[in-house]
A and B are shown apart, each in its own frame.
Chain A
């Protein structure tokens, strides 16, 4: 029993060992202990989804986990998508469809879409909407985001994809 805990995670493919107060939220751990600032939050009620990451293959709001709950798990954050200087096809589709403006919600939006596409390579527009209701965006009106996810789906899985 302790108010400090040891945490070992794999983040974007690399192991990371650290220690934190038990009460520390995963998002703060990612930002302030691991040092990856691309994951952010914009609310305190688990609504905005800006903090979304992929954990053990599923999307997760990193503000709605204690850091210690991630112990032993595999995490992917926005920094883990692109390889080298090449954007991931999903990121490229976001740029092409103008699916971001101020960009504050974008990390979480992209990670939600990433998790969605890993489970459903050919989502319909309604399935995309349903997949991103946990991500609030004030700039885009979501329409370009839906278009970007469709575009990425076509590129990632040329056989499927909605026209």
Chain B
């Protein structure tokens, strides 16, 4: 049986398909003819065209066939457009030719010359450019408006301040020219020239002011932008200008847009509660008036400006939101996108102001333009009420399949925020995310979903189990190693705490069987964590782990070996080496035997290595190890390397705000390296912490001295870097002498000092002072010293370096700034992983609780001040203010390490009240009550 259609086909003659074929053939034919017919600009060779350009020197060609010349220029520019740039020498060659074309009076050719000069002006040697200025200056005085206008535009691209002086008067004339184009060209030239020659252009202010009253829209616009640039450093003048114009005569839409931007800048710069002031109110009125302008561009500009006004109230946003809402149903996609962008930015801060647009936005979800649709969705996710979540999700799910990954990521982020807002809806929202985990998508998209799900797990505990299950299902078929390992790690931490941990074992073990080495290794660690946490599963997991002892990848084997060892399994018989030799013949029996015989062995004490993260970050560990090496080489009885003997290195995680802490830590370890080189100091032991250098003199003085305080376990070492800047002096035997300040109690005794033997000009040498805690006072108490630099001066001839006069020199002393030792110097920042656990591990009876009233008005400032005052490390991100809890007390967790390797922890509660200032309650715990007291006294 054949279908009717096919029968017709078989019948030959005119069928649909044959006709289509025929047409296709015709079309192809035409296409070929198209391609064959020579376009003047296809397959151009640069060299050939450059060759052809030589005709420019032939005055006959130039005057008789201007069309040909202008074609040649076009060809050259086309070659450049297509990406084949001309070299400087090529440009110069053509450029000379082009200057000859000024002989022709053909207007179109002249237009092309102007264009060409502008295009190559930047690549050309400026000296060559000069030769056309005379021709251009002539055109600037031409009676033809278009010649005048164009020549000014060209000149603006190439002249400098000195040349500008020569033609300045013509430009000033042109600014007030009757012809709008001449005037505009001169004004635009002014906006380009003001960057290089501001002083010249500022002299044109009267002409520009006159042009502002032109009847031409474009001239008004150009005059306004130049006038603003001329006056921009004079805030009062700007303010006057803008105020005058808001009442006045500006009719041009572009100029009005510009005026709106200037006004909002003024309001924003005046800061504070700007809208309450008279200017603020006037600005608001002008913006509101502009919402009724005839031009859509102005309406939008005004609406956008209103939405972004600082401190605007929600009710004042009404008119702006209303016009934007009208735009949403416009047939023009540009208008819809513009309105959507403005509304979505409003929705971030004031979602309720946008709620009335929800219906319009919902219809935009189906918009052909995906940018608009995405903005509509993300905005709806912010403004939607809890009850509309389900409906919204249904609408989005059909939409998600059609859009690109980058838009999907935006939607995922919005859903994550929505879920935080309406935690009760977690089932729908997390389910939605999990659905898309199973769909097609690139790494970035999948990572966004996984991150979102994990973030929600942390905040909304109800989602923990179901989310974990979703993620486990995802890794069953996940092509991204990074995501698989991330999820496996998470399963290792969260899995054992769930109701039925055993069910996750299957997912994890599947990874061991099916995946690449990196994932297998991660899976082994996860399995080990289950076994370590859950004794009930230990035996069966051990059997699984045992199978990886002969994995082809060494990392996997190693991890399995370590895990089994820590779990107390006896694996010697099964070690990889043995396995190859004899075990390969009967591996299964041996496995079973080994498992049987070792079942009852207890967990090893080191099992915590599996369960807890590293006590310090890798960067910290590496810095500490380096310092240990330096210190160790100096000491006679080298300490065994272990976590407790490692020096504590100040290391704050390189945060997004600055990379300074990392470099500071580097320099601090370098500084203590200097210390280990001094034999007298080596016996004092390791450096616990070092401060950053403190200047004891101005940096411009004869002798420049800075001080670093090194805290050792029982001593304080002061390192002084002294620089001699006087060329005819040699400083001999320089040292620093300190004396207890009269008002300060004696906490430290001076033990010894190391002098700097000789200081030549320009050299920096070090002198040292060693202090020890006085008997009866606590090591770490604050102290205050007066300091002086003592030395002998030997005069020398700066040229030859020979002594002049007495070789012994004469004694001299030089006063320095006071030196303060604060308790914070004794504290090294220490990162701990679990603040609460650490807090509970310190005894409560060594806690000191204090209450202070501080003079801070701002919470952020107060937090920073407390942190820097104590020198401790903020934990759990408590140095960031939770924006949603403004006005509530803020809790700050701090950790540190006191000299002598004593852990100190502090919990502080801050509250800022308008009348009382800042109330600080602080509790400090440490292994010694005295230390806790010292720390809490720091605040004084």
Are A and B bound to each other?
no
